[in-house]
Structure 1
Amino acid sequence: MGTSQSREDYISDSDYEESESGESSQYDDAQETSSSSSQSGTKTLNSLDEVDAKLKSLKLKYATPQSPNVKNPVKLYLHIGGNTPKAKWVISDKLTSYSFVRTNKINGGNDSDDDEEESEGVLGDGFWVLKVGSKVRAKVSTEMQLKMFGDQRRIDFVDKGVWALKFFSDSEYRKFVTEFQDRLFENVYGLKATEENKMKVYGKEFIGWVKPEVADDSMWEDADDGLDKTPESVTPVRGNRDLLEEFEELANGGVQSLTLGALDNSFLVSDLGLQVYRNYNRGIHNKGVSVRFDGGSSKIGSNSTPKKALLMRGETNMMLMSPLKDGKPQAPGVQQLDIETGKIVTEWKFEKDGTDITMRDITNDTKSSQLDPSESTFLGLDDNRLCQWDMRDRSGIVQNMVKGDSPVLHWTQGHQFSRGTNFQCFASTGDGSIVVGSLDGKIRLYSKTSMRQAKTAFPGLGSPITHVDVTYDGKWILGTTDTYLILICTLFTDKDGKTKTGFGGRMGNKIPAPRLLKLTPLDSHLAGTDNKIHGGHFSWVTENGKQERHLVATVGKFSVIWDFQQVKNSAHECYRNQQGLKSCYCYKIVLKDESIVESRFMHDKFAVTDSPEAPLVVATPMKVSSISLSGRR
């Protein structure tokens, strides 16, 4: 366990630092001399020639020019030693140069700096890569995990290792960052990074996403100042917290998913069946009870291990969804498990207008509806479908479970889109509004009364949204991509001066810029190149007036925790000297000895008085752990 405060935060190189300090002291002297001479009544210096002549007459010792006579000069560093006590930065090249080239190959081949542009600003074949001397050749993408240190004129990034570039002037640093962001836009969208094309991609309402420096951040400030602060009766977020592992137990092996309950029990779905755990204030404990899945033939045509488990009806029933094919999430139906008896009571088919269909995901109608003992409906999602399913027939009567064909779920409301939506994931708010993430990075907001047309559609940043979550009050959305989390504020002020969320109406043209939650390049590299961020969640509340306090996501063997209040704070130190969208790198890491399947916070009611949050449950294929955020050192 640990935090993100790692050894890569500052590069100290004696030659470079001495040169900088020498330059600084000499220019300080020059400024002081100039100031005193001005006060003594000397004539005003009206031209650069006069200024230069005056400085020369003072016989100052000029510093050696910091910027060598090389195009795009930089100093290249390599981080070695990983996260060990011997970790350090070493100089890889004291003086080299960088360039952005367009190519069809990452490794080898002849590069050309010529951009073959097509009409209307569309780029030709190939993509942009960053070259630094002969040692770095990386495709410009979010996988580089580029991090900016404006005060050090430095950027860090990942390319088969962790590298840093130091620039010789502020202007050269800013030039690189601007060019990198433009090349990233062009690689993602295949369009030249012109203002016109950026408006075409994002829309004029999202000018703040294109130019964060002109974005209206007042909603972040307003929300931070009171709209969604935790009530005083709830334990406040404290500093100096440690992560304490309360329980760790062996699972039966092959854990596929974690399903937390807000009442007595939580569950692990594994290859062998369903394991039942008891909920406590310090975490979850194995009850020694398990339900084995029947290995016989399924009526709905799927015999694989369930990948999705959804609690319903006061957490006495569970809907299990198994994909038809390995590697594909789509399922033709769901199995309904009675938890008290441990038996599958029925197998439901997905059907619309007499035709069998599939779903890629299911979720509860609202954040708290799994606690409703009479719940008979749930939401479904496929690539181009968003709907609500009902276990009752059209007359509202519970269907008769007779032997033979599987009963058909009733499609109560929803919409089948013609094409192009590429839905991937969804979540519901406390009042039943729905947020949907898509393959193209878009995030759509639907009201609880209409699934046909989104009230608001955020453009995203081009990376597919693999998971999405939303706060109980609908004011904040957390989208997960392979390389970062995107936090979106849905609040806006309507024409009557009322504060609303984007689920209830169009947000107009004052939409706040999102914030990104990222790993540092070093932590990203340590997590492994093949490991992707997944399953970003808010902590769990099911009552109005309570506010989620943390966010958690998983990557490789890391469970990563961010302080929600800190991320929302615009004055947070992470955001200083950044260019572009604000990115937060302040987090805590829970490290396990095998890849983590899922990390989730227990329900808010399980938070104890000396902890600012309910326990975090971390499931790996072989173990399940409960972690407390302690208010003590």
Structure 2
Amino acid sequence: GAKQSVELPPEPAAATSSEAAPPRPTNGGTLFKHQDGKWGVLTSAVIPELTDDNEGREDDQPKWILDVGDVTFPVSEKCNLVSNAASRRIDFLAPNGVYAIRFFSQPGYEAFMAEYKDALFEAVYGMRASDANKVKQFGQMGAWANGVDPAGAVWDLTDEPPPGADDAMKDFNQEEQHATEEGEDVMDMKMGAMDNSFLIRGNAVDVFRNREGGALSDAKQRVKLMDNANSYITPTKGLLANQESSMLLLSPNQGRREKIYQMDLESERVVSEWGCKLNDVDIPMLDMCGDNKRSQMTDDKTFLGLDSNRLIRWDRRMAEGVAQVLASPTLGRVEGKDYARGTNFSCMATTGDGCIAVGSMDGKIRLYSDKSMNQAKTSFPGLGSPITSIDVTYDGKWILATTATCLVLLHTCVRAKNQELTTGFRTKAGSTIAAPRLLKLKPEDAARAKGAPLLKGKFTWVTEDGKQERWIVASCGNYSILFNFRRVKAATAPDAKLLEFTEYNHVQKDSQIAESTFVHERFTGNDTHLVIATTKGDVFCAGR
């Protein structure tokens, strides 16, 4: 069965001593170590020091080292450093353990963080943290990238009250476990809003029935995926279509990504294959998604495709793309643009009204309106790490980008020139948009997960106007990490001065998690039900 969420350790307690307190340097603090599930004082007064081991050498490649008492390690994103200005505290992961420093003074904390951010910039980008180099990386959004909200930045104008304590600590214990028959590793779990949901594993799909109340039942049905030459298809992406009666399959890692296959889920056959071509040149697709958040529930005949330099809308009905049973027509290209080499697109997601958010390997995020794909309305600079997946709320007001070490949460809302509320999908919004909020693991949990990356962050699944997403989930090794979205928004509002958020629930499994996702609200009402699929093929869901 599923395990309960693990209790997280409390805040480090302040050091106590019956003796007179030692002098407290303004640039120092108390060093704590996390052991056996709790914090203890390691050194009552330390001064953290940053030094560049390569300073003055010919290659001038920065190599920053952080010294804190007896703890010494190189500065990198692997430190999982989490900062909290309100408590003058940093937590970090070192090779020999998890530590925290509570600074004695606010100026001491702020001086260290400014120095650390420059050292991290140099470690990530391999260049000095000069103003010119920061402009090279961030353009005119250097303050934004540094976590500074512009004056008058819009922040969450929904009328929702913040969550109560009971809501924040919801129990995501799953009461039902389905052990599917043995097969290849699970790649993906596709949730349906109608009758079925689907587990994609190797060259087969296992079918689950959606039940009222949010539970799933194993249909004991496995559909083998074969093309018209009776060769197995091993997809790494699946996209439900045609009111969830079909699934489009993409195989980007198997040497066949110039083709997309359509499988009819009722007849259990691959009924169409399309070549993705432009001017007789194969266009290998890296990702695909529906035109909008509701597409799989409709009869939409178009969908979006992405490769590292192109964003394209394909149409299965066009003359060269007529679906012929077990034939290989070429998908028609409705609109799209080839972008200059080097965009390095990696993933995309769509809003309820068809606007598109695209993530890149260099960390950049571009927002396109539903009216044109020729130029991004708004572009956000990368923060150093590749974006491996991206999601957006139904109303387009929030974007969640997954990197290995954090989830980047962006609020897209701005005031237009006429002061009406709009989003960065509709108007150019770079300089007026709120700074990114970073949802991070506590370093002790990053250590427990053995440095596994965060993967596939997503919001709860909303498909109608006026509904608000409630939770965010991502997978990390054997863990599902769950953030209460309303609590995140309330706690990181501009006046709270908290840009890094580390309050979450987590659920642990015995094997690696392939997908953490949510049941469609149609089956759960206002409740939120988590579904976890492990790579071994076990599926966990809330029972009723």
Give the TM-score of the pair, scaled to structure 1: 0.78
CA distance in 1, matches of 2:334, 2:370: 13
Corresponding position: 1:286 with 2:211: no
Look up the match of 2:280.
Answer: 354
* Equivalent residue in structure 2 for 1:131, among 62, 67, 70: 67
Amino acid at match of 2:223: V
From the two aligned structures, give the one with the greater helix fraction.
Answer: 1
User: How far has the Cα of 1:564 moved from its partner?
Assistant: 1.0
* Equivalent residue in structure 2 for 1:542, among 451, 454, 463: 463
Q: SS state of the match for residue 207, structure 1? A: helix
* Equivalent residue in structure 1 for 2:400, among 478, 481, 495: 478
Cα-to-partner distance string for 1:572-616 (whole Å, 9 max, x where unaligned): 7x99575xxx111111111111110011111121224xxx43311
Q: SS state of the match for residue 174, structure 2? A: strand
Cα-to-partner distance string for 1:249-275 (whole Å, 9 max, x where unaligned): 102342221011110100001135111
User: How far has the Cα of 1:541 moved from its partner?
Assistant: 0.9
User: How far has the Cα of 1:456 moved from its partner?
Assistant: 0.5
Q: SS state of the match for residue 129, structure 1? A: strand
1:157-196 matched pairs, under 5 angstroms: 157-160=92-95, 161-196=97-132
CA distance in 2, matches of 1:402, 1:278: 28
Note if contact 2:272-2:324 (Cα within 8 Å) is conserved in structure 1: no
User: How far has the Cα of 1:382 moved from its partner?
Assistant: 0.4
CA distance in 2, matches of 1:204, 1:266: 45
User: How far has the Cα of 1:489 moved from its partner?
Assistant: 0.8
* Equivalent residue in structure 1 for 2:301, among 376, 379, 390: 376
- Structure 2 gap segments, 5+ residues each: none
* Equivalent residue in structure 1 for 2:535, among 595, 601, 621: 621
Look up the match of 2:514.
Answer: 597
Aligned residue-pair number: 536
Give the TM-score of the pair, scaled to structure 2: 0.90
Cα-to-partner distance string for 1:156-185 (whole Å, 9 max, x where unaligned): 101232122344444333322221111112
Report the CA distance shift for 1:205/1:418 in structure 2 as closer, same or farther (over 3 A).
closer
User: How far has the Cα of 1:94 moved from its partner?
Assistant: 5.4
Q: SS state of the match for residue 198, structure 1? A: helix
1:484-633 matched pairs, under 5 angstroms: 484-507=406-429, 509-529=431-451, 531-570=452-491, 578=498, 582-608=499-525, 612-622=526-536, 623-627=538-542
Look up the match of 1:47.
Answer: none
Q: Determine which structure has more spread, i.e. the larger CA radius of gyration.
A: 1
Report the CA distance shift for 1:576/1:545 in structure 2 as closer, same or farther (over 3 A).
closer
Corresponding position: 1:202 with 2:138: yes
Amino acid at match of 1:165: I
Look up the match of 2:238.
Answer: 309
CA distance in 2, matches of 1:587, 1:433: 29
User: How far has the Cα of 1:411 moved from its partner?
Assistant: 1.3
Amino acid at match of 1:452: N
* Equivalent residue in structure 2 for 1:238, among 161, 164, 167: 167
Look up the match of 2:377.
Answer: 455
Corresponding position: 1:65 with 2:23: yes
Look up the match of 1:14.
Answer: 16
Amino acid at match of 2:535: P
1:240-259 matched pairs, under 5 angstroms: 240-253=169-182, 254-259=185-190
Q: SS state of the match for residue 137, structure 2? A: helix
Look up the match of 1:390.
Answer: 315
Amino acid at match of 1:432: G
Report the CA distance shift for 1:298/1:468 in structure 2 as closer, same or farther (over 3 A).
farther
Note if contact 1:202-1:210 (Cα within 8 Å) is conserved in structure 2: no
1:404-443 matched pairs, under 5 angstroms: 406-443=328-365
Corresponding position: 1:364 with 2:286: no
Amino acid at match of 2:12: Y
User: How far has the Cα of 1:488 moved from its partner?
Assistant: 0.6
* Equivalent residue in structure 1 for 2:32, among 35, 53, 77: 77
Cα-to-partner distance string for 1:206-251 (whole Å, 9 max, x where unaligned): 6333352x5346411xx2443xx49xxxx99935532231311102
CA distance in 2, matches of 1:207, 1:192: 17
CA distance in 2, matches of 1:437, 1:237: 34
User: How far has the Cα of 1:372 moved from its partner?
Assistant: 1.2
- Structure 1 gap segments, 5+ residues each: 24-63, 82-86, 103-110, 118-122
Note if contact 2:272-2:323 (Cα within 8 Å) is conserved in structure 1: no
Cα-to-partner distance string for 1:431-479 (whole Å, 9 max, x where unaligned): 1111000011110001112212101001131211110000111111100
